[in-house]
Amino acid sequence: MQLEVIGVGGAGCRLADAIRAAEPANHAFLTDVYAFDTDEAALGRTVIPESNRHRYGEGDPAQGATDGGDGDGSSPIERGFERGQERADELLEVLGRGEPSAADAFLVTVGLGGTTGGGTVPALVATLQRTSEQPVYVLATLPADREFDASAGETDGLAGHARTATATSDTEPPRPEAATNALATLERLEGVASAIVLFDNEAWLRPGETLSDARDRSNREVATQVAAVFSGSAGESGETTAQTVIDASDVERIVGSESAFVTLGYAEQAVETTSSRFGLGLLTTERDVDTAEAVSAVETVVRKAIRGKRSLECDPEAADRGLLIVGGPPAWLNRKAIADGRRTLQTAIDGSGILGGDAPRPDGETVFAGVVLAGIGPVERLEELRETAGTR
């Protein structure tokens, strides 16, 4: 399927960057990618072409307000929502200069916790829903606990000292209000976004690591998960057509249109792709691949994608619906193992429906599985954030 990606705020733009970088060369699944931020310097650090970057809200009183309320008693995130409403048409106009109708869906990427991305996204998503036919999905990160401590970075000894000394505007500020902000944005997205893919920063940080240290790695992880699911059977050549093509309407059926929470899983395994004397000299043919090895590779990646670490940790049983995509060099895509994988997913989620497809990658060097679990709830991490917000 074809996706238009719109990054908003610092994290949103970096996520959009990462998704662009994860697009497989011969399996394009992106139409346009945009970066929107109030912060000119942050925008300048993205690799999104200048024509698709847009700074909005210049000189706006709401901008950069991260330190509590102002005279009128409104909180920074509320002022962020107001600014979002004021600016949504301007952003829509920028998107209109591209070719929004070429996309099967929009994916708006944002880091929840701040006031820019989280403030703008509800109004932008609502405006897109009003003015276009396609589903509008949101990819949102949840803030990590270590961001909430206002003194972090100054009190954690030498490492913190060194960081402070070399601090650039790229270093993440402490965000005591991050949990409150994140929950406020999610509340506004309820009933507005078609579906909300969550990525929990807390779960992907290593001990002692700051968000700035970890963010490139985290962004690559989630971008790989997104690419596995959305690039599905995109752009393949005629001779390697998927047995079961996953298209935009299949994705829509699984994630739904009612703001369901979604988590993504991914696993891959490198496989031998030595050239064959029988094929074109480049492709691995079925006779080069041991069936038992192919079955084992598919089983392994499917199990890891379902049971391993996902963008948001939750029991697969907590999901209503699931989607499984198994990809790799065609000779490795053992049909029976893929069918078994679908049954594994069906059993794991114990829900109402699953879909499965395959994604042949003649030029690929790995067998991979991408998993979508949709309609998950209750989300434990959101409960934790509610507790944090309640104590502040």
Q: What dihedral angle (degrees, nearest 10) is formed by the CA atoms of 363, 367, 372, 377? A: -150
Q: How far is the CB of 202 from ligand GTP (least distance, A)?
A: 9
Instruction: Tell which residue, 263, 329, 319, has the closest CA to residue 297.
Output: 329
Neighbours of 295 (CB within 10 A): 16
**Strand order across the beta sheet in which 195-200 lies:** 53-55, 30-37, 3-8, 105-111, 136-142, 195-200, 260-270, 366-374, 321-328, 353-360
Instruction: Tell which residue, 237, 213, 222, 262, has the closest CA to residue 377.
Output: 262
Report whether 201 belongs to an annotated binding site: yes
> In the set 2, 31, 46, 218, which binds ligand GTP (CB under 6 A)?
218
> In the set 11, 246, 297, 372, which binds ligand GTP (CB under 6 A)?
11
153 forms part of the interface with ligand GTP (CB under 6 A): no
Residue 219 binding partner per list Mg ion, ligand GTP, none, with a CB distance cut-off of 5 to 8 Å that depends on partner kind: ligand GTP
Nearer to ligand GTP, 156 or 340 (CB): 156
Q: How far is the CB of 80 from ligand GTP (least distance, A)?
A: 7
Nearer to ligand GTP, 113 or 370 (CB): 113
Q: How far is CA 97 from CA 54, 90, 92, 94, 353, in A?
A: 12, 11, 9, 5, 38
Report whether 272 belongs to an annotated binding site: no
Report whether 181 belongs to an annotated binding site: no
Pairing of strands 366-374, 260-270: antiparallel
Q: If binding means CB under 5 A, how many residues of this protein chain bind Mg ion?
A: 3
The secondary structure element, H or E, covering residue 294 is helix 291-307
Q: How far is the CB of 130 from ligand GTP (least distance, A)?
A: 23
> In the set 31, 46, 63, 116, which binds Mg ion (CB under 5 A)?
116
Tell me the two tokens of residue 79.
């002022």
Chain position whose Cβ is nearest to ligand GTP: 111
Binding site for ligand GTP (CB under 6 A): 9-12, 14, 66, 111, 113-118, 141, 143-144, 147, 175, 178, 201, 211, 215, 218-219
